[in-house]
Amino acid sequence: MRVLIIEDEKKIAEFIKRGLKEEGYTVDIANNAEKGHFSATTQEYDLIILDLMLPDGDGITLCRKLRDEKFTKPILMLTAKGTVKDKVTGLDAGANDYLTKPFAFEEFLARVRALMRKSDSEQTTKLLVADLVLDLLSHKVTRAGKEIDLTSKEYALLEYFMRNAGQVVTRTMISEHVWDINFDTFTNVIDVYINYLRNKIDEGFNVKLIHTLRGRGYILKE
């Protein structure tokens, strides 16, 4: 899942980014409203973390603008202002949730997980392809009942494959959704991680799930 943080305080933004990446999320940062709006409208994100006070505007105005422009994904608003009036204003502007600084990171992650679940129209908590199961809540992955230990990046890559099972995904699509906006497309990192996944997901099984389509990309299917 890909997250955009719109936050001008560098330490806070980097702290949130580091914590989310440890949980397997792909994260980009915009340090003002203009850059945040540009990123949100030119890239695909599953969640926006939006600070209320920005150097070139405010989160309320940006939130309203994004909703007017039909941005439908969840928006979690962060702010030092914690009055009921402030919260109501943020929610009325289109935010899905509101968290006051300072906050416990454990609570922050719980709110992120809740927003991700709510954004899925089918309320899916597990992804299944053949005998491969990925639990979105526990991050547990099994195949034929056997638990598979994945790194956070391997998990993110597998989740993207499983959410697009049966469809061709290109290297560009993978880089945009699993790596951040600064990813170097000239490296072979994607191929390396796909080989890691193959060794863990397909090794020892007669039916291979990860397939390479030369000149096109990859596909996860039976």
Phi then psi dihedrals of residue 140, to 5 deg: -85, 135
- Is there a single domain that holds both residue 145 and residue 96? no
Measured distance CA(96)–CA(13) in Å, rounded: 20
**What would the pLDDT profile of 168-190 be if each residue is shown by its tens digit?**
999 888 888 888 766 776 788 98
How does residue 122 score in pLDDT terms, banded at 50, 70 and 90?
very low
**What would the pLDDT profile of 191-206 be if each residue is shown by its tens digit?**
999 999 999 999 999 9
Q: Which range of residues forms the domain containing residue 198?
A: 126-220
> At residue 55, does pLDDT exceed 60?
yes
- Is there a single domain that holds both residue 65 and residue 139? no
Question: From residue 195, how far is each of 78, 154, 190, 200 by CA, in Å?
Answer: 39, 10, 9, 9
| Contact present, 167 and 182 (Cβ < 8 Å) | no
Scored b (16 or more CB within 10 A) or e, 181-206 reads eeeeeeeebbeebbeebeebbbeeee
Edge-to-edge strand list for the sheet holding 141-143: 126-129, 132-135, 141-143, 146-148
Residue 141: predicted pLDDT: 96
Model pTM score:
0.67
Last residue of a domain, one of 51, 85, 119: 119
Last residue of a domain, one of 61, 87, 119: 119
- Is there a single domain that holds both residue 79 and residue 51? yes
Q: Which whole number is the average pLDDT over 7-33? A: 91
> At residue 40, does pLDDT exceed 60?
yes
